[in-house]
Structure 1
Amino acid sequence: MTSPSAIKWSANQLALLDQRILPNRIDYISYSEPLAVADAIRSMVVRGAPAIGIAAAYGMALAAQQFANKPMANAADWKQALQPARAALADSRPTAVNLFWALERCDRAIEEHGSRDLVTALCQLAEQIHAEDIEINQRIGDFGASLIPANSIVYTHCNAGALATGGYGTALGVIRSAHRDGHIRGVIAGETRPWLQGARLTSWELMSDGIPVTLAIEGAAAHLMREQRPSWIIVGADRVAANGDAANKIGTYNLAIIAKYHGVKVMVAAPTSTFDATIDGPQIPIEQRPSEEISHSFGQRIAPENVAIANPAFDVTPADLIDAIVTEHGIIHQPDRAKVLAHLQAAAQQ
């Protein structure tokens, strides 16, 4: 068995796998309205930077469908009509740069097609972004797998697999490719509080693919690195800055510090669409999630009333704690500003 697709598009209808209830139930929610897609992104029905970008592109296609029978003279008319949907989608998860990358591709399609058949163009663009992501993930997986020595245990955090992307995965794409090559002896998956993506999603994905996985509480990371000696920490990213700093699920920075002490290497697997060459790590916006995610568990309060709560969804790992960033165009070893910008420039020319 392999894990099901997080995103389905058929007959101009969007269906998203509800990741909030996995692995206990496999349910898809159908969407025909872009504001509902924005809410699905915000409420974690769909999550993971590449998957968020794909869902946003489909959301813009749904928005255009609402105006299919209304006359639009030019691109300016379309921009005005689609602006509420675009604004809602852009506001749904501010840290995930793939969201804005996908919306900007939609903007260019609006400029290009204007008064012509924009509905078809946006539907085709969303399908293209979806298909491209699967191919990109497979290339990332193969590049990353080339760094994994034989008989390895690796450690991963959150979920950067097929459920977080168009399919195959970034960090889990590397693990899938390395397992295919016979180099993975086992995977340690951190539980990833407070949404437990590692427990609910990553462990389920890996088990579905027959890849040996051990689920671990987050507080055991240092102990397991000392005792198990993984060869790599492998994570995805929601934004990679120009200086090589990488934003990922909260707790990644902790792991990188622990890994440095224990001599364990850190790999960030991310497509070039996740890079933001306009800012450095300290300028990456960090989404603050609702306090109820920590104060409550399964609807029951577990913290005192009125306690102050910090619930950042992401943290930023400095580039000097990262040994390799792997993209669909290759590997950036010991990343810094010069190497990141050179990689992006070379990728743009391919």
Structure 2
Amino acid sequence: MKSNSYFPLKFEDDKLIFIDQTKLPLKENYISTDDYNRIAEAIERLEIRGAPLIGIAAAYACALAFKNHNHKDDDYFNKVYNRLASTRPTAVNLFHALKEIENTYINLADENVYHVLLSIANRIFSAEENYSEKIAKNGLNIFRKKSNVLTHCNTGALAAAGFGTAFAIIKNAFEHQLINHVFVDETRPLFQGLRLTAFELEKNKIPFTVQTDSSAAVLMQEGKIDIVITGADRIALNGDSANKIGTYNLAVLCNFHNIPFYIAAPSSTIDRTIATGAEIAIEYRSSREVLFVGDHQIAKESYQCFCPAFDVTPAHLITGIITEEGVFPFPYNFLK
């Protein structure tokens, strides 16, 4: 696949450089830092977001914490680890990356901590790039004709290494003339579809239309949607999948309208410690994200708001889960 003209995150000159996703699509503002706490803040603020990319950023943050503290210090490591682990509770890639860093740290001699941890972060980044490429190829198998695709939230390079997950499939399928048009849920309340997916589709010259989340049912009713593909932030062993709030709505709609609904995610998103989605910790966000659009207040701050960042789609509503290993149908015995 052809390269795009932007990058979400890279490590260069002993610093992590990342695009501030909260400013997109109107400003392409890059931040450069070697401060692990600044990276933690970036994850919390959604300047860095997307399950795989969060894990990558956290791994680099752990390494950078030892850039000027290049010796083993268990108390300091625990402080860094806990700070990063506290940023986002739902995306399992974060905890997989931190655990890999921790396992390496525990077995280290008291020397070259920074460079060893940096090599692990680089390895995690490369692995996710490889996953993205394979997911894109495997995703071609779900198309039976040139299709209109609907997607939700953002799953491109702004969410993962390489070209992403669901977005990588969309991009590859478009280049193979298997996609006619992409419909993009705006993805309330933070508009990741409107701001980020639309930005990436435009950059990659893929035709698209943005609609409000509540318009998806009408599009399906009018026969304008052939396939729905989303990403996931955590997948339980039975296939229950947590993704951006509004994903469950789409799966129910697809079930009613007999439209295939697919999840695309790397194996690093599978949480093999939980049996079902009932065990997935759901992050709740500030009511400000509903009551404000950016810095513009649109309702009274006294209003009570229900603000889950994610919902869980039951496995039986998912037509297939696409990973770097292939396309797997319900009941997802491969997860066992």
Shorter-chain TM-score range? over 0.9
Aligned-pair Cα RMSD in Å: 1.3
In the alignment, which residue of structure 2 is the partner of 1:244? 239
In the alignment, which residue of structure 1 is the partner of 2:131? 136
Q: By how many angstroms is 1:2 displaced?
A: 2.3
In the alignment, which residue of structure 1 is the partner of 2:40? 38
Map Cα deviations across residues 107-129 of structure 1 (whole Å, 9 max, x no partner): 12112323232211111111121
In the alignment, which residue of structure 1 is the partner of 2:61? 59
In the alignment, which residue of structure 2 is the partner of 1:347? none
- Of residues 309, 318, 325, the one that matches 2:321 is 325
Q: By how many angstroms is 1:304 displaced?
A: 2.7
Q: Do the aligned residues in 2 keep the contact of 1:19 with 1:46 (CA within 8 Å)?
A: yes
Residue 291 (structure 2) pairs with residue 289 (structure 1) = no
CA distance in 1, matches of 2:178, 2:7: 26
Q: Do the aligned residues in 2 keep the contact of 1:268 with 1:322 (CA within 8 Å)?
A: yes
Residue 153 (structure 2) pairs with residue 151 (structure 1) = no
Residue 318 (structure 2) pairs with residue 315 (structure 1) = no
Residue 113 (structure 2) pairs with residue 113 (structure 1) = no
SS in 1 for 2:182: strand
User: Relative to 1, partners in 2 of residues 1:194 and 1:3: Cα closer, same or farther, differing over 3 Å?
Assistant: farther
- Of residues 187, 193, 206, the one that matches 2:188 is 193
Q: By how many angstroms is 1:241 displaced?
A: 0.5
CA distance in 1, matches of 2:197, 2:285: 21
CA distance in 2, matches of 1:241, 1:117: 37
TM-score in terms of structure 2 length: 0.96
Paired amino acid for 1:297: V
Q: Do the aligned residues in 2 keep the contact of 1:159 with 1:198 (CA within 8 Å)?
A: yes
- Of residues 169, 173, 179, the one that matches 1:174 is 169
Long gaps (5+) in structure 1: 342-350
Paired amino acid for 1:61: A
Q: Alignment length, in residue pairs?
A: 333
In the alignment, which residue of structure 1 is the partner of 2:24? 22
CA distance in 2, matches of 1:52, 1:320: 28
Q: By how many angstroms is 1:3 displaced?
A: 4.5
Q: By how many angstroms is 1:281 displaced?
A: 0.2
In the alignment, which residue of structure 1 is the partner of 2:252? 257
Q: By how many angstroms is 1:101 displaced?
A: 0.4
Q: By how many angstroms is 1:12 displaced?
A: 1.1
Q: Do the aligned residues in 1 keep the contact of 2:288 with 2:301 (CA within 8 Å)?
A: no
CA distance in 2, matches of 1:51, 1:146: 25
In the alignment, which residue of structure 1 is the partner of 2:198? 203
Q: Do the aligned residues in 2 keep the contact of 1:3 with 1:205 (CA within 8 Å)?
A: no
In the alignment, which residue of structure 2 is the partner of 1:81? 76
Q: By how many angstroms is 1:85 displaced?
A: 1.2
Q: Do the aligned residues in 2 keep the contact of 1:5 with 1:166 (CA within 8 Å)?
A: no
The residue correspondences of 1:200-239 to structure 2 (distance < 5 A) are 200-239=195-234
CA distance in 2, matches of 1:126, 1:303: 42
Residue 276 (structure 2) pairs with residue 274 (structure 1) = no
User: Relative to 1, partners in 2 of residues 1:224 and 1:111: Cα closer, same or farther, differing over 3 Å?
Assistant: same
Q: Do the aligned residues in 2 keep the contact of 1:160 with 1:172 (CA within 8 Å)?
A: yes
SS in 2 for 1:16: strand
Paired amino acid for 1:304: K
TM-score in terms of structure 1 length: 0.92
Q: Structure 1 segments of 4 or more deviating over 4 A?
A: none
Residue 178 (structure 2) pairs with residue 183 (structure 1) = yes
Residue 87 (structure 2) pairs with residue 92 (structure 1) = yes
SS in 1 for 2:174: helix
CA distance in 2, matches of 1:133, 1:292: 33
CA distance in 2, matches of 1:61, 1:120: 7
CA distance in 1, matches of 2:109, 2:268: 25
CA distance in 2, matches of 1:293, 1:276: 28
Long gaps (5+) in structure 2: none
Once the two structures are aligned, what percentage of the paired residues are identical? 40
CA distance in 1, matches of 2:74, 2:238: 34
